[in-house]
Structure 1
């Protein structure tokens, strides 16, 4: 088992990564709790909910099962889960367990952050993608106009990552998670990026996947410890996300998965970087790797100004000016303000580039 400690202003919490951890989660609890609410989704529940419930004998344990998918990160579901917590009698010494992927973690964490002004929660990721979202204390729900616009910084009491749960994720979720690992490598670790570009996702062993996740979490932990509330370098973790989130919002979160949208967003960031700085980035290498691993790389017909308007809802936007994370080279990220006129040109050029490679 690998243990990483993450320091936040409120607490230091452990990230525990290993096999079979879901059967012994009480070993990683920082304290005892009066009651527990397990929040999961309808896909994960069928695989792992009973395993987690078996950890508890005499505790007051309750469950809430939400619908799988980004649509559950809504104000309506947020309210329903608060009602569930109240009905179950949760108090300020209770615990919420987020069992699932990034949607469950973001939603359950925001419920925990706001219930009775904040109770403990534990992240139990079941996807590769959630290695990123479960560490760092960002919790949120979506607004109809944009992703994660309603949220908080609220660190978990622990992250318990049983890598055996990755055996049941589908290929789209697998691709989605690896896009975030590529992002982490691009902002901080060129050798890690090179190693990822040398493998095919279908050939990975469980040990290699665990090694990659551990490296990704180590990068994330270093960044969030240095900048917990995204005042500076933590923004770099949004490489590919300004364009990617816009794609997700335009398609009402029913098109590309989050990681697939971020993958396209990273290609866009590469192209904008090359137009902004005197730099040559491995665009062709990343594009070829994404294509060989089945990532969707063709965009539907989109209005460029519509994309820009969605990009302006990104949390990095200042004074209605889009701020993008760009690269001066691999592992040298920067933020830059991009004008609307330049964005229009960049988006049109990018769509031509992708169309020409179809």
Structure 2
């Protein structure tokens, strides 16, 4: 088993990574939670494959368990769904001595995490991510949130879990689209911090070879994120590097109402576009965007921006959380594995965006 200790100001917590870890989940939860009642929040897709299994495993370890199933998809990361979850928690008479398990992908982890952070002013949380994107990124670092109609993750909090349990075998039930979606975030880690990881990803011959070594890839990505989070827990400095490709990516998701492109696909286009901009500005090594393009093609991720309305994108970007005072932080890379934050005056954003969207 791989393990990583994330040292946060609100308390350290472990990340455990092991093939088959779900089978041991009852015993593992007992090690960190001495209470009796557990609420599992999951989505309709995960529930079909693993819903009954996780309930049985937890009950087998003596826990009284409840389950809340939300509709799969980004639309569940909303106040409407959040209120439904709150109602269920009240129906179950959940109190601050109980615990919530977020069992699903990024949407479930973010929304259930936000519910845990806010219901009764805070209930303990465990993350059990089931998608590659959630395993390498969204389940780690304590960011929880819901979307607003005008933008993604605009209402949220920093709320660290008691533990994160990652079973890479759960990825075997993912279809190729969702696996590739997660690879968008994996590629991001290589691009911003680890050229060796990036080069390793370029060498995998097929999906089977990738999945054979996926536990090591997850461990590498989680280690990178843990180090960054420890240095900048509240996302005011270095942690912004994790948003490489996300400013444009979130805008693309929003523009197409979260229906046409997945998060990883949108971030992929954002990474290529922002890297091409860096080359045009003379601050990114020439040829880097072509390298990004090659790896995106390898993992069946889009790279070219679709036709989008510049003004609509500008409106979305104006609400971006990386806007601070009169400037915005763009994440650029000098070369593969070397990233930095570039402050751009808000008055110049339109000029930069016109270079990207052309």
Q: TM-score range by the shorter chain?
A: over 0.9
Q: State the 1:348 CA deviation.
A: 4.2
Aligned to 2:156: 151
TM-score (norm: length of structure 2):
0.93
**Are the equivalent residues in 1 in contact too, given 2:133–2:182 (CA < 8 A)?**
yes
**Are the equivalent residues in 2 in contact too, given 1:34–1:91 (CA < 8 A)?**
no
Which piece of structure 1 moves more, 274-283 or 233-242?
274-283
CA distance in 1, matches of 2:33, 2:101: 14
Q: 1:311 aligns with which of 311, 317, 321?
A: 317
In the alignment, structure 1 residue 93 sits paired with structure 2 residue 116: no
Superposition pairs for residues 185-264 of structure 1, below 5 Å?
185-200=190-205, 202-264=207-269
**Are the equivalent residues in 2 in contact too, given 1:277–1:328 (CA < 8 A)?**
no
**3-state SS of paired residue (2:213):** helix
Aligned to 1:17: 17
Which piece of structure 1 moves more, 322-331 or 38-47?
322-331
CA distance in 2, matches of 1:68, 1:200: 31
**3-state SS of paired residue (1:204):** helix
Aligned to 2:34: 32
CA distance in 1, matches of 2:210, 2:295: 18
Which piece of structure 1 moves more, 56-65 or 173-182?
56-65
**Are the equivalent residues in 2 in contact too, given 1:38–1:97 (CA < 8 A)?**
yes
Q: State the 1:329 CA deviation.
A: 2.7
Deviations 1:170-222 (A, max 9, x none): 11111111111111112211121122223355342433111111110110111
CA distance in 2, matches of 1:242, 1:195: 26
Tell me, which stretches of 5 or more residues in structure 1 are unaligned?
353-358
Q: State the 1:23 CA deviation.
A: 1.8
CA distance in 2, matches of 1:11, 1:286: 37
Q: State the 1:87 CA deviation.
A: 0.7
Aligned to 2:271: 266
Deviations 1:23-79 (A, max 9, x none): 221332212223111000000001111221112144321101001111100011111
Q: State the 1:156 CA deviation.
A: 0.6
Q: 1:165 aligns with which of 161, 170, 184?
A: 170
Aligned to 1:355: none
Tell me, which stretches of 5 or more residues in structure 2 are unaligned?
none
RMSD: 1.8
TM-score (norm: length of structure 1):
0.93
CA distance in 2, matches of 1:241, 1:351: 15
In the alignment, structure 1 residue 183 sits paired with structure 2 residue 185: no
**Are the equivalent residues in 1 in contact too, given 2:148–2:154 (CA < 8 A)?**
yes
CA distance in 2, matches of 1:9, 1:271: 37
CA distance in 2, matches of 1:184, 1:292: 16
**Are the equivalent residues in 1 in contact too, given 2:114–2:144 (CA < 8 A)?**
yes
